[in-house]
A and B are shown apart, each in its own frame.
Chain A
Amino acid sequence: MKVTDIVKALDLKVFSGEGGLDRDVSGGYVSDLLSDVMGNADTGQVWLTLQTHKNVMAIASLKDLAAVILVGGHKPDENTAMQSNEEDIPVLGTNLPAFDICGKLYELIYNT
Chain B
Amino acid sequence: MAERMQFEYNVDGGNFTRAGYASSEIKKILKKLNVDLAVIKRTVVASYEGEVNIVAHAYSGTIYVDIDTERIRIRLQDEGPGIPDIDKAMEEGFSTASSQVREMGFGAGMGLPNMKKNTDRMEITSEVGKGTTVEIEIVLK
Interface residues of A, Cβ cutoff 8 Å to B: 32-36, 38-39, 43, 49, 51, 53-55, 58-59, 61-63, 79
Partner of A61, one of B24, B41, B114: B24
Cβ contacts under 8 Å, B106 to chain A: 34-35, 55
Q: Pull 20 A–B residue pairs with CB atoms less than 8 Å apart, ordered by A.
A: A32-B105, A33-B108, A35-B49, A35-B52, A35-B108, A35-B111, A38-B49, A53-B16, A55-B19, A55-B104, A55-B105, A58-B20, A58-B48, A59-B48, A61-B20, A61-B24, A62-B23, A62-B24, A63-B44, A79-B17
Cβ contacts under 8 Å, B44 to chain A: 62-63
Partner of A39, one of B27, B52, B104, B114: B114
Interface pair B20/A39, CB less than 8 Å apart: no
Interface residues of B, Cβ cutoff 8 Å to A: 16-17, 19-21, 23-24, 27, 41, 44-45, 48-49, 52, 104-106, 108, 110-111, 114, 117-118
Closest beta carbon of chain B to A31's beta carbon, Å? 8
Closest beta carbon of chain A to B52's beta carbon, Å? 8
Cβ contacts under 8 Å, B118 to chain A: 39
Interface pair B104/A51, CB less than 8 Å apart: yes
Chain B contact residues, majority secondary structure: helix
Closest beta carbon of chain A to B119's beta carbon, Å? 13
Cβ contacts under 8 Å, A54 to chain B: 16-17
Interface pair A55/B117, CB less than 8 Å apart: no
Partner of A62, one of B17, B20, B117: B20
- Docked Cα-Cα span, A63 to B21, in Å, equals 14
Cβ contacts under 8 Å, A59 to chain B: 20, 48
Closest beta carbon of chain A to B24's beta carbon, Å? 6
- Docked Cα-Cα span, A34 to B108, in Å, equals 8
Cβ contacts under 8 Å, A55 to chain B: 16, 19-20, 52, 104-106
Partner of B105, one of A43, A51, A61: A51
